[in-house]
Amino acid sequence: MVTERLYYSDSHLIEFEARVVDVTDRVSGWTAVVLNRTAFYPTGGGQPSDTGTLNGSRVVECIDDGDNGVLHVVQGAAPVRDAVVRGRVDWARRLDHMQQHTGQHILSQAFVKLFNAPTKSFRVLEASCQIDVELNNPTTEVIERAVELANNVIWEDRVITILNVTPEEAAELPLRKESAREGELRLIEIEGFDLTPCGGTHAFRTGEVGLIAVRSWERAKGLTRIEFVAGMRALADYRKANKSAREMAALFSTGRDDAPQLAAQMVEENKELHRRVRVLEEVVATVEAEKLLTTADAGIVTEVFDGRDVESLKKLAHALIAKPATVALLASRDKDTARLVFARSSDAPGDMSVLMREACTMLDGRGGGKPEMAQGGGKRLAEVEETLRLIKQKLTED
């Protein structure tokens, strides 16, 4: 092996000395350095790469090149071949990955122990982690039972041991999952709880994981995809969730835990208010129509409003054309859009759809409908009044 992998035997080793075996330029313009030994964990097995420094230059990523060793991608001045360098792994990132990864071993085994549900895949994401579990009919209650067991194992502070065994020895052991690797196997044993082959970095004791919490879950491709956070990510997520909940509660001038009930109450009240507003709009439209009809010129009512939406214009139009031989040409300057509704009673003249298309052309917009009722809109707010005047003229000329 070109590179001795120090992280296999000591996951807490972050400072080391090594000799440079090879240096190659990368397409990115950065440099890849191969060392005779390394404490840097390269991306693999669902666990992201370590970062850190080599003689003070940033190591931005490490790539596993199999028998050719571990590539340390260096940004900045790279060491030369045969130089002895000092490496330093970013501890906060390593600890975070160990908490997520060890947490995953514990949570996955909890699902096996309680529900005989194995984990099919695992990913460490930016702020959380995902496992895909063969768990049928998941419910929050079922998942929380596994979370409960996992946290108990964490708080029992069980010892975690690395075992190197032959394939024959492995065949006799109760492994949680099969390994795809050939030859000697590296097993991670959580005292009295879990035994599984893995090449990642793990905590020394389960207590180091701190806490596991499930953020959400969903059914995906016949499996249950569970998003969880462990250790410092669980604390960060708690802070974020608590902040959101308290900000929401402040809107209702109440305590955090009372906010959902008040929010639900407000949603209900809002629905009821909408219903009452619709009823009142009908009443207002009738009264308004009576008043507007006194301004009708040859049976044509034209009016431009401010800030009225299409639904409101349509209600008014309906109320107006309830009177025989009436045409309603209504418009509204609603924010930055001109809205139009044209309507006529069944015995009044004119094709509203045709007139609407003409009006919309003048307003640089679009619209259409039926001969008795049409709606549309446009962008030229300043020309709304002139447009209605021209349409009314056309209607009386016909």
Residues that bind Zn ion (CB under 5 A): 101, 198, 200
CA distance 99 to 191: 17
Query: How near is the Cβ of 66 to Zn ion at its closest, in Å?
Result: 19
Between 200 and 378, CB nearer to Zn ion: 200
Between 119 and 151, CB nearer to Zn ion: 119
Query: Helix (H, G, I), strand (E, B), or coil: what is residue 224?
Result: strand
Longest dimension (CA), the chain: 101
Q: Which residue is nearest to Zn ion (CB)?
A: 198
CA distances from 133 to 119, 125, 129, 224, 246 (A): 4, 17, 13, 5, 33
Residue ranges with strand state E in the chain: 4-5, 15-25, 31-35, 37-38, 52-54, 57-64, 70-75, 84-89, 119-124, 129-133, 160-165, 185-190, 194-197, 212-220, 223-230, 300-306, 327-334, 337-344, 366-369, 373-378
Query: How near is the Cβ of 84 to Zn ion at its closest, in Å?
Result: 31
Query: How near is the Cβ of 182 to Zn ion at its closest, in Å?
Result: 19
Query: How near is the Cβ of 311 to Zn ion at its closest, in Å?
Result: 59
**140-155 and 91-115 helices cross at what angle (nearest 10)?**
120
First-to-last C-alpha distance (Å) of the chain: 94
Query: How near is the Cβ of 199 to Zn ion at its closest, in Å?
Result: 7
CA distance 332 to 330: 7
Cβ-based neighbour number of residue 218 at 10 Å: 10
Query: How near is the Cβ of 337 to Zn ion at its closest, in Å?
Result: 58
Between 131 and 359, CB nearer to Zn ion: 131
Between 108 and 353, CB nearer to Zn ion: 108
Residue identified by tokens 């009295």 is 192
Residue 205 burial (10 A CB sphere; 0-12, 13-18, 19+): middle
Query: How near is the Cβ of 67 to Zn ion at its closest, in Å?
Result: 22
Between 200 and 350, CB nearer to Zn ion: 200
Between 97 and 101, CB nearer to Zn ion: 101
Between 48 and 200, CB nearer to Zn ion: 200
